[in-house]
Chains A and B, each alone.
Chain A
Amino acid sequence: MNDQQNKHDAAEVVVLGGGAVGTAVAYYLARAGRNVALVELGEFPWGSSKRCDGHAVTYDSPPGYFSRLCKAGLDLFPEVAADLDVDFDFEPEGVGLLIDDERDLETARASIEGKRAEGIEVQFWDRAELRRREPGVADDVLACLNFASDAKLNPMRLAFGLARRAGAYGARLMPRTRVTGIETRDGAVAAVLTDRGRIASPVVIDACGVWAPLIGQMVGLTIPIRPRQGQILVSEKLRGLASQSYAEYGYLAAKGGRKRNGVTADMEAYGVALVAEPTEAGTVLFGSSRRYVGLDTSSHPGVLRAMAQRARRFFPRLAEARIIRCYAGLRPATPDGKPIISPTPVPGFFVAAGHEGNGIGLSLITGKLVAELLGGGPTSVDLAPLRLERFLEPPHAA
């Protein structure tokens, strides 16, 4: 029996997952001329990429490998924006980290050089400068570390546009398709089984984010990704509240175990930290929270309250502004907070998932790296730190 008899039932590569990462992988593969099928349970996008904010940033990592990866990812957006026929509102207008604790001033200043050495544009605004640029920020905020090239974009339109363009390059788009199994032959990937038929293929890319482990199970792999829920508040249209996005510097410090000023027990318990993103439409998105609550994407009033308190602390003018909608999404979190972009012990099965809060910003670089990886040549970024093996039991001696 010949798998290639009907070309519609076969592909060189099947990408599973139509979020920002999966559509970017399909886009780069199709652009490189590969015969690729993109399978998604819902539409493009459907999972976390439809329930997130739209930041593509370098601010949230210390100088080093991951920071450079984020920078490489950010640098790809202008070229792809020009190639897509969907405008995804890419705006590299900067993201500022608001500093409200004297103890953070020195560490913040000290981090600048390392980031600048990576080509990242960082500015330190003292209190007067911050007041001048952003009168809506609370008076007692001491300074701002501004990552001037960090960007915002519309992630829903990004993934939609990537899928469309992948289709134009020849990718077969399969929305509303459920993966029911993966067929192997002699231990290697042979086909993807779906509720719309079998697709023979020697290569499968698991780009299913928080659902990636379910796909991994189909070939006996344990992929250590857990859903880490984040909630978002959407304000009414508020032109003039803030001229760009902001986050709180203290949260980076809090990751190191230090308690932030003015943080309630609720905020600690729910992992609440300010993120504010004025959208192109005029509404402002306010995050963030971090909780492990399974696949629950409902809103939780207690978490929302803590987030509103945090938002108001940095933007007092919000007091009377109205919240018109809330939603929640699931970050695909790995044990070390870095994605998995990797081959696996199952020949032909690759993972491109686990980007936690950086999936939008890292979507394009992930797509590019997977295309390079499948091309067999050297990759433009060393992928060793992102291999799945880092989480696997050491192999038994032969």
Chain B
Amino acid sequence: MSTYYDLCVIGAGPAGMSAAIRATRLGLSTLVAERQPGPGGQIFRSAESASPELLRLLGHDCARGRKLIRTFRACGAEFWPEATVWGLEPGAVYVSRGGRSRAVRAGHVLIATGAMERPVPVPGWTLPGVLGAGAADVLLKSSNLRPEGPVVLVGNGPLLVQSVHHLKALGVPVSALVTTGSNAAALRALPLAPAALLRPAYFAAKGALAARVLLGGAPRYSGARDIRITGRDGDFTVTFRTGGRVRSVQGATVLLHEGVVPETRATQLAGCRHDWHAKQRHWYAAADVWGRTSVTGVSVAGDCAGVLGADAAMARGRLAALNVCREAGRLSTARRDALGRADRLSLVRIRAAQRLLDTVFAVAPEVLLPADEAVVCRCEELTAGELRTLLAAGCASPDGLKAQSRAGMGPCQGRMCGQAVAEMIAQASGIPLEDLAPYRARMPLFPLSFDELAEMALPPL
């Protein structure tokens, strides 16, 4: 009953698609499982079906996304859209598709689950009408839904800058940009600036974006702390402290964004080793340049192995596929190395540039520490204050706090609260965050029904 592929790729973003294209070209039978209805990942979401207006707005990103998707569709890889991988073990992946689950046996598993917006709990972040800037971007790309203006943007990171640009181009008024970053961070990044010269096109484009933001005329505040959102959908007030003063701004919609973090639940479940990114304060799947993780037979590509963006994801996908082909006996080591040379070089340049971005947009640890009244675990509706009471009573690890509070035991399995919880524990206990193991990932990664599990097709014992 089970199906066998030489390679099973989880995620059809730029990394997963690029890997599948390369792997099939070199003769591997390849399956790509993707949760969304179409390929593209977050960045190329709905690029295939984008309206002319959206195409104009997204420009280059959309065009190259369409090209990649076209090549991917024609490459011969089996593509399963709306397929959720909920379980992983050596040599097998458990996939739910159309309400039915099955085991897919795979010679090699490539995890390319990308990144997600970092959830940063602030009071009011659970109100309807408050959403992530990235989530708003997805709504725009997939459903052509635009947020009701005026919009207040709050947070930090390059995507926030991009959101301002998109909103302006769509004619949605922006009432304020409230950043948690500081001008000092930009100064700290100066010594790294020459790295940007290695990849001039990218920085020219992003630099122009930033300039347009500054010229846009919307009030901009930096170094914001103690952010609170009150009101209701269509009529919000965002208050914050900056430069010793408390300020407030109004908007119909609030978009939050504090950078993106690797989506590592699949790599955690697979048992891969993870490393800690001190500047961006997140875990990422540890891998070598070929995407090899600490687990034999499991590779990674793209942002789940460290956030580097779409160009890097494509290069990493191709490199990972080359190595899987080598392990499958399709390529000699010398041939793999030769075919991978250009991508390895471009990755060196991208990594250097990313160091600059990571510094400019370094996340301030205190921004990640929620105020007592902020709901941290949305599934169980637990506030930071409630969790801090338990921390004071003796919990000193994410799994320990989960056991006592139920934070992280809900349907999202700690996807939303895991990072804030770890930050709070590190602060309360004095244990460095990198020494605190994150919540243990558990099957099923996404909920599934008893019927579906009970009727799953499996090879007999």
Contacts and interface: CB of A to CB of B under 8 A. Distances in A.
B227 to A, nearest CB: 31
Given A269-B461, A281-B406, A305-B454, A324 B447 contact: yes
Contact of B413 (A50, A164, A325): A325
B396 A175 contact: yes
A299 B454 contact: no
Interface in A19-47: 42-46
B442 A325 contact: yes
B450 A323 contact: yes
Chain A CB count within 10 A is highest, among B397, B447, B453, for B453
Given A164-B393, A327-B442, A322 B411 contact: yes
Given A308-B454, A309-B454, A323 B413 contact: no
Q: Report the contact-size class of chain B (Cβ under 8 Å from the partner).
A: 35 or more
A1 interface: no
A321 B450 contact: yes
Interface stretch (A212-220, A242-250, A311-319, A390-398): A311-319
A91 interface: no
B346 interface: no
A117 interface: no
Contact of B396 (A176, A233, A266): A176
Contact of B410 (A321, A324, A326): A324
Given A312-B451, A325-B409, A304 B443 contact: yes
Given A266-B461, A312-B454, A322 B442 contact: no
Chain B CB count within 10 A is highest, among A50, A234, A281, A305, for A305
Interface stretch (A55-63, A155-163, A251-259): A155-163
Nearest to A283: B409
A301 B269 CA distance: 13
B76 interface: no
Nearest to B453: A308
A324 B411 contact: yes
B382 to A, nearest CB: 11
B271 to A, nearest CB: 8
Given A301-B103, A324-B413, A45 B403 contact: yes
A327 B396 CA distance: 21
Interface string A283-306: 100000000000000111110110
A309 B453 CA distance: 8
A283 B454 CA distance: 19
Contacts, number: 103
Contacts of A323: 444, 447-450, 453
Contacts of B403: 45, 50, 156, 160
A305 B458 contact: yes
Contacts of A110: none
B87 interface: yes
Interface in A159-212: 160, 163-164, 173, 175-176
B394 interface: yes
B395 A43 contact: yes
Interface string B81-104: 000000101001010000000010
A164 B392 CA distance: 12
Given A43-B395, A301-B89, A322 B94 contact: no
A320 interface: yes
Instruction: Give chain A's interface secondary structure class.
Output: mixed
Contacts of A236: 411, 447
A236 to B, nearest CB: 6
Contacts of A173: 394
A345 to B, nearest CB: 36
A102 B403 CA distance: 41
A276 to B, nearest CB: 12
A294 B290 CA distance: 33
A235 B89 CA distance: 22
Interface in B284-322: none
Given A160-B404, A298-B89, A304 B447 contact: no
B397 A42 contact: yes
B154 to A, nearest CB: 31
A82 interface: no
B192 interface: no
Contacts of A309: 454
Interface string B377-403: 000100000000000011111011001
A319 B396 contact: no
Contacts of A322: 411, 447-450
A50 B460 CA distance: 32
A326 B444 contact: yes
Contacts of B456: 301, 305
B453 A304 contact: yes
Interface string B421-461: 00000000000000000000011100111110110101011
B427 to A, nearest CB: 17
Contacts of B410: 324
A379 B353 CA distance: 71
The 8 A-B residue pairs with the shortest CB-CB distance in the complex, in nearest-first order: A43-B400, A156-B403, A308-B453, A322-B447, A308-B454, A318-B450, A299-B443, A309-B454
Interface of A: 42-46, 50, 86, 156-157, 160, 163-164, 173, 175-176, 233-236, 265-266, 269, 281, 283, 298-302, 304-305, 308-309, 311-312, 318-327
23 contacts: A43-B400, A45-B403, A157-B404, A160-B393, A164-B393, A173-B394, A265-B461, A281-B406, A283-B409, A298-B271, A300-B89, A301-B94, A301-B103, A301-B458, A305-B454, A308-B453, A322-B448, A322-B450, A323-B444, A324-B444, A325-B413, A325-B444, A326-B444
Given A46-B400, A323-B448, 5 more contacts: A50-B399, A156-B403, A281-B409, A318-B450, A322-B448
Interface of B: 87, 89, 92, 94, 103, 271, 380, 393-397, 399-400, 403-404, 406, 409-411, 413, 442-444, 447-451, 453-454, 456, 458, 460-461
